[in-house]
Structure 1
C-alpha cells in the first residue's frame, strides 16, 4: 500500500523497504507495528536465519523482509491491511495500473511480449489471505483486465499463485475464471 492522507503504508509501518525503495529510517526494529504482528515464537532478529540459507544469497531480499514474512502472524498482517484499506484503495488500483502502459510501450518498441509477473498486490507473507479474499481478488482482476487491454501476452494472477501456495488449492474457481480471460483467443 502506498502513503495516502499522511498514513503510512504497511511496509512503512513495519519498517521495510518496498521494491527499489529503501526501508524507512526507524529508531527501533522491529517497529512497534511489526512487533504487534509477530507470532509469539518469533526469535529476536539477531537470532533469525531463513529456513533455507540460500534464500538470502540467491534472492537479494533483505534478511528483515524474510524475518517479517516468516515470523508474522498472517491474521494480524491481514487485519492491518483491512483496517487501513479504505485510505489506500484508490492507490492500490492506480499504482499497478500506472505501470501497464509504460511496460506495454517498452515491449512494443522492442518487439517483445509484455508479461506481468507476480506481485500485483505486493510481496506478501505466504499464509496471509488479503490478496486472495474479495479485496485482493478485485485488485488483481482489475490489473489483469488493464494488462489485457494494453496488449499484454501473459499475467500472473497473484503474488502467491504457484502450485505450492495455498491459493492454488483454496481459490481454484477464481483463478480459472480470471485465467480464462488471459488465455482467451
Structure 2
C-alpha cells in the first residue's frame, strides 16, 4: 500500500506534499463543470456547487482542465462555444449520463478555469487536474477545431504534449497564486481507453504498449514541476499488465468499475458492438420505452457526425441510454444480479488490493478517481439502490483499509448526476473515508 503519512521509511517513497490533505474525498466533475454552466445547469454557480460539495463531506474535485485546448491547441478560447451533443437539448444524447447538456453557452475558458480554482481555494477544496480531451471533451464544442487540433498531434507525442500542457497549467496557477490548490495532475483520463492508443502495434495489451509514451510524458512534466504529483490514470485495474506502470510515476490513479451484471447486459444487447448486430425486437421488449425509434433511426444530425468520432461512446449504447425505460433497465440488472453478486464483490476487493500493492511497489500515493459498477443510464438508480449503495460503502471501506490517499463515493456522486441528491449516502461514505486512522 502507498505511504500512509508524510514520512516513509523508504527513501524512494513519494510523500504527499505537506500542504495537501492526508486523504482526499473526491467528487468527479470531469468536463461537466465547463460544458454545463448555462441557466439551470448544475455548474451555473461554481461557488454554490463547491459549497454543497463541502457540505456533503468532500474536500477535492477531479476535473478535465482542458489543458491541451488552453495551452497547446493554438485556438482562441476567449469565447469557447459549447452546446448539446446533437445541438438539440432534447435530441441525441439528451438522456445519456454525462452527455445530457441542456444549454448552449459561451465561456472564456482560461478565465473560467481560474474562477474554479479561486472558488475551490475559498472553500478549502483541492483540485485534481486531468484531461478527457482524447475521449469526450471536444464533442461538446460547436465546431471541430478542438478535435482536429488534438488529432493533428502525432500519436507518439500526444502524452508528452498533454504533460507539457499540464505543466503550463501549473505555471498559470503559480502566476495567480493558486498552485497550492492543485492536488495532483494526470496526463489524461484512462490512458488505455481512447485515442491515445492510436498508432500502437496492437501486439500486446495497450497498457504495456503505452509505457514508453507515458514515461516520456511524465518525465516532461517532472522536468518542469517535480514538486507536483503526476499520476498515470487507468480505466479499471489492468491486472495482467501492471508490470508496465510508468516507473517514474509519483502517484497512481485507477477506476475500479466492476461491471459484472452490467457487463452481462452490455454483451446480451451488443451495446458496444456493430449496430448491425443490435437485437432491436428484444430491446423493445426488455429495455426500451414505448414509442422509441429504432437504432437505425436514432442518429446524430449529419452536421454533427464528427462529434461521434470525438467521443468514444458507441451508437447502440447512446441509443439505449437515451430510449430505455430506466425501471426496465434497473429491473434487468436486479433480475440477473444473483449469479454475479460474489464475483462483483470479489473483483472490487481484489482490484483495490492489487492497485494498493503496486502503489506500494512504486512507493507512491494511490487514489481512485472513478468507480464502482459502471456506465448506467442517467435516470437509472442501480448505483443508489441497495446493491449499488452497498458497493459504495464497501469500496470506501476497502480504500481506507489499504491506505489509499483518495477515493470517491461513486462516479455518479456529483452535481451533474441525480445521485447528488442522495445526501445521506455521500455524508456516510465521506465521513468513513476521512475518519482519523485508528
TM-score range, shorter chain: 0.7 to 0.9
Using a 3 Å threshold, how does the CA distance of structure 1 residues 174 and 16 change in structure 2: closer, same or farther?
A: same
Query: Taking structure 1 as reference, are residues 106 and 124 closer, same or farther at Cα in structure 2, changes over 3 Å only?
Result: same
1:56 to 308, 314, 317: 308
Q: 2:268 matched to 1:13?
A: yes
How many Å apart are 1:123 and its aligned residue?
1.1
Between stretches 141-150 and 120-129, larger displacement belongs to 141-150
Residue 260 (structure 2) pairs with residue 2 (structure 1): yes
**What's the CA shift string for 1:121-156, capped at 9, x where partnerless?**
111111101110111111221122112211212222
Distance 2:326 2:394 in 1: 24
What stretches of structure 1 of length at least 5 have no aligned partner?
18-22
Is the CA contact (8 Å cut-off) linking 1:69 and 1:126 kept in structure 2? yes
- Aligned pair partner of 1:125 in 374, 377, 394: 377
Structure 2: how far apart are the matches of 1:41 and 1:115?
A: 43
| Native 8 Å contact 1:96 1:143 kept in 2 | yes
Q: Return closer, same or farther for 1:46/1:99 CA change in 2, 3 Å cut-off.
A: same
2:284 counterpart (5, 22, 35): 35
Larger radius of gyration: 2
Partners of 1:115 and 1:153 within 8 A in 2: yes
Shift of 1:163: 0.6
Corresponding residue for residue 29 of structure 2: none
Q: Does 1:107 align with 2:359?
A: yes
CA 1:33–1:44: 2 relative to 1, 3 Å? closer
Query: Alpha-carbon deviation of 1:105?
Result: 2.3
- Count of equivalent residues: 174
Matched with 1:76 is 328
Cα deviation 1:87-145 (Å, max 9, x = unaligned)? 21111211222211221123233343222232301111111011101111112211221
Q: 1:70 to 1:164 in 2, by over 3 A?
A: same
Partner of residue 387 from structure 2, selected from 112, 135, 141: 135
Deviations, residues 45-103 of structure 1 (Å, cap 9, x unaligned): 22323698776344412222212212211000011111122221111211222211221
Compute the TM-score of the two structures, normalised by the length of structure 2.
0.36
RMSD after superposition: 2.7
